[in-house]
């Protein structure tokens, strides 16, 4: 039977030290910590911005893939005068204004192309993000409805009217053909022609009530108005005014600027006297400029007509102003004139 030699304490200690030394653990690496998962992006609803290009006025850009056309914005302006396209009149009431955009278009294709109301969509966008779609396309110096046919390489001009809010600040105009095709965006805030300061102190945001001057034409909706002065009348239709009252007539002229035929009568003409406390005296009737016959003419495009607005005014009333305007297409701007018959 073999005998085993007992190891000395020193050898035992040395073996233990080697067993538990750092060298013994060098071959065992700790597992790396798992990387944190990226935070999930929040779900945002809403339509994605339309794909397309940004451009500048007076430069031709191709719009559309299936039936492309080249567009260049030639001019754009704010306006208060009605715009007639094929008998349809675009006009601004007292809370609105118009925008007229004029384009040059050319045909880059080998085949003939036709430009009409449904062949493109032209939209204005305000600084507040509100969209205003354009109306029917028109051709300069013509108020007939237009389908513009373009042969290969041919160019033509057209315009598009817009009715926008009176306080809208137009920032850009967008041209698009098919719904899923890229669009053309043009920045116009610094290119658009502004209104006279009389109608909009900053040239953009319009006023609803303005102080007018005698002998000056002012735009209504389909009509323009001019105040020509005051006149006192002894009788109307042979009748004196009621006791404590007097007959007073405002002499005014009206012009049909719509391009279509329109009539005037008591129901579509604003004629009011306002006293110092804001009380209103409504008109009695409209009479002709040279007789007491009723004034209710049919005005052809461009025709002017002089008439009188008759009031029965209390003699003790401190009248301040005359308010003049129309209700032909909505309620027009109001023009105030001093009362001094």
Give the residues of the chain that fall short of pLDDT 50: 1-7, 9-26, 42-47
Residues paired with residue 231 on neighbouring β-strands, in sequence order: 249
Q: Which residues of 149-158 are buried (b: 16+ CB within 10 A; e: fewer)?
A: ebeeeeebbb
With beta carbons less than 8 A apart as the criterion, state whether 87 and 143 touch: yes
Are residues 106 and 141 located together in one domain of the fold?
Answer: yes
DSSP classification of residue 268: G
Q: What share of the chain is helix, strand, coil (3-state, %, to 5)?
A: 5, 45, 50
Residues paired with residue 323 on neighbouring β-strands, in sequence order: 272, 336
- What local confidence, expressed as pLDDT, does residue 336 receive? 97
How distant, in Å, are the alpha carbons of 25, 50, 74, 189 from that of 58? 77, 23, 5, 15
Are residues 130 and 255 located together in one domain of the fold?
Answer: no
Residue 14 lies in a domain: no
Residue 202 lies in a domain: no
Are residues 74 and 170 located together in one domain of the fold?
Answer: yes
Identify the domain containing residue 149 by its residue range.
Answer: 52-187
Residues 6+ positions from 8 with CB-CB distance below 8 Å: none
Cα(99)–Cα(189) distance, integer angstroms? 12
End-to-end CA distance of the chain: 150
Cα(91)–Cα(219) distance, integer angstroms? 10
How many domains is the chain partitioned into structurally?
Answer: 2
Are residues 168 and 233 located together in one domain of the fold?
Answer: no
Residue 298 lies in a domain: yes
Q: Any idea what the CATH number is for the domain that residue 264 is in?
A: 2.60.40.1240
Residue 193 lies in a domain: no
- What local confidence, expressed as pLDDT, does residue 131 receive? 97
> pLDDT digits over 236-270, tens only?
999 999 999 999 999 999 999 998 999 999 899 99
- What local confidence, expressed as pLDDT, does residue 145 receive? 58
Residue 233 lies in a domain: yes
Are residues 234 and 302 located together in one domain of the fold?
Answer: yes
Residue 43 lies in a domain: no
């Amino acid at each position: 039977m073999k005998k085993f030699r007992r190891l000395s304490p020193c050898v035992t200690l040395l073996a233990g030290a080697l067993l538990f030394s750092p060298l013994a653990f060098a071959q065992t690496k700790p597992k790396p910590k798992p990387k944190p998962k990226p935070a999930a992006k929040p779900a945002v609803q809403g339509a994605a911005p339309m794909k397309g290009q940004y451009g500048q006025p007076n430069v031709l850009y191709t719009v559309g893939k299936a039936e492309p056309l080249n567009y260049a914005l030639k001019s754009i302006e704010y306006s208060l005068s009605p715009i007639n396209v094929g008998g349809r009149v675009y006009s601004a009431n007292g809370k609105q204004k118009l925008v007229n955009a004029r384009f040059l278009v050319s045909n880059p294709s080998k085949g003939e192309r036709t430009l009409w109301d449904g062949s493109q969509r032209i939209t204005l966008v305000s600084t507040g993000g509100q969209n205003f779609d354009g109306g029917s396309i028109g051709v300069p110096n013509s108020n007939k409805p237009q389908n513009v046919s373009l042969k290969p390489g041919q160019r033509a001009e057209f315009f598009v009217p817009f009715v926008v809010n009176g306080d809208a600040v137009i920032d850009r105009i967008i041209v698009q053909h098919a719904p899923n095709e890229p669009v053309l965006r043009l920045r116009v805030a610094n290119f658009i022609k502004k209104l006279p300061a009389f109608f909009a102190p900053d040239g953009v945001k319009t006023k609803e009530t303005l102080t007018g001057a005698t002998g000056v034409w002012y735009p209504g909706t389909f009509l323009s108005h001019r105040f020509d002065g005051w006149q006192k009348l002894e009788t109307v239709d042979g009748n004196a005014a009621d006791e404590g009252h007097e007959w007073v007539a405002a002499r005014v002229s009206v012009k049909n600027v719509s391009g279509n035929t329109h009539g005037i009568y008591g129901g579509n003409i604003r004629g009011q006297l306002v006293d110092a406390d804001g009380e209103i005296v409504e008109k009695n009737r409209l009479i002709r400029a040279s007789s007491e016959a009723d004034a209710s003419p049919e005005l052809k495009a461009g025709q002017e007509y002089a008439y009188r607005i008759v009031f029965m005014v209390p003699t003790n009333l401190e009248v301040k102003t005359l308010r003049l305007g129309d209700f032909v297409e909505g309620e027009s701007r109001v023009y105030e004139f001093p009362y001094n018959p």
